[in-house]
Structure 1
Amino acid sequence: MEPKAHHVIIGLFTVIAFATALIFALWLNKSANDREWAYYEIGFDHAVSGLSKGNPVMYSGVQIGDVLELNLDPENPSRVRVLVRVDEQVPIRENTKAGLVLANITGSMSVQFSGGSPDSPALEGTREEPPFIQAEPSAFSSLLTNGEELLQKADTLLTNANRLFSEQNTENLEAILANTRAATDALLASRGQLTSLLEQLDASGRRAEEAAIKVSRASDNANALITNEGQRAFQALEKALQTIQSTSARIDRLTQENEGAMASGLQGMGELAPALRELRSTLRNLNQFTRRLEQDPTGTLWGSETIKELSP
């Protein structure tokens, strides 16, 4: 009798537990059906991989609803329209932002609402005409969208790396390293000469600096000389020019005042020209007569010719 009583108790407990679970499920379903929902349509300009019907809708990390439908935009299939329902008690405003967030490590996505200031008007609508909200691309969705391009770039990078480290390039690199090692050894072997060369360069630099200082001093002296002596020379030249200008003005004034006398003098000099010519001719004849008189005084005075002795 005792084992049979235990089986009855276990069976009764199982039935009670099943009935309790069924009643709880019915209560949850009734509670869900009794809730008032607000409907919104969210537009995505990028792929929504990982988002499906029934996925949760979150607001600042708290679930407020779920996804009802996912459809392609008939005018532009690259865009996706997602219909969500949200608890009517949660205000969704015009400046509320929407996007996608990663729900778990399996890649499932959730719709995430954020922002929305209290002074912004609330969005209102029905399931037949839900308000439209343009989603903002998230960093994760952009990463997923550009994943293929990133893989292509990575593949191209690896291909170029393989070409860079080809056998021929490796041999060239080994030759370059060997030449570099040889050049380094040569430099180390002649480091004494390099040290001497650097010392000479240092000495040349010091001499050049000294020469530059001397040139600078000479330039300063020349500048001072030009400034002082040149100024004096310019002043003397200015005085001379003033004197010349004054003298020229006086000559000009004298010329204007004695213009008639000078004209008469010049005319008189023109009349003296024939007399001067006659005087010049007389002087020339007198000069000839004097030479003849020196050579033959008698013949010149008496007009007789001198008898010349003939040589035997």
Structure 2
Amino acid sequence: MNPKINYTLVGGFVVLLILAGLFFIGYMTQDSRNTDRVAYVTYFYDSVSGLNERAAVKYRGVPVGYVEKISLVNDPEERVKLSLRLDNDLPIRKSTFATLQFQGITGLLFIDLHTSDTQGERLETSEKQPATIASQSSRLGEITEKVDVALQNFNQLTKSLNQLTDQLSVLTNQRMQQQVSSLLTSLEQLSNTAEERISAFEPQVFNQLAHDFSDSTKELQASLTQELQLMSQQLQNLSEDTQTSARLLSPLLLQAENLAEQLRLESNTWIRSNQTQPAGPGE
């Protein structure tokens, strides 16, 4: 007689066995260095397109950590903030700087750290106040920017060439050729007509007219000069007569002033002589 099979116990045992297997696999694949890693931050002003979270951080080509978080700082400089987790025993110094580098031909980016002074002072960091690692533009990024600028200039040149080709195609159009030919013919006819008109003029007539005009100008200039001289002489004579009259009037004015003074004195005498004298005693 077969005993009854408890499927609940069997199922529970299988679940426990699976969980134990997953725990063992996770434990074996766990990176023990994550518990010994500390926080750092760095800022980039360039685009970080191609850089993902959990991207590798290398120090002189050796993996030493990963990118924990990528965020954009809302300030006037519009920087990209990268939160890093690096090995605790990594010699991060004040002269250490971070650059963006391409990983193979995949187009993905990673952070590469370099130190210019291996004897410099080390950066002190903590979980609450992570130390800031300086950043520099990578040469590959600069080359990429220059290539982009060159491509833009090439596209602009291509567009200009296309426009020039369109204009040349318009000029080579049969209708445009007819219009240009008609314009050239009209210009030729106008040139011939102007030449005929100019050749029909008699140079002697213009020479005589110019000579007569010159003579008239000279006569007018002489007449004006004579009139101005006569007017200047008359003004000079008038000025001399005025000065002479002023010299003659000066004594007369002096005599008139003396006469007026005498009249004033005599009038005072006449006024006093006409007054009635009081009668004396016995009169």
TM-score band w.r.t. shorter chain: 0.3 to 0.5
Task: Calculate the TM-score normalised by the size of structure 1.
Answer: 0.43
Greater Cα radius of gyration, structure 1 or 2 = 1
TM-score by length of 2: 0.47
Q: Which has the higher helix share?
A: 1
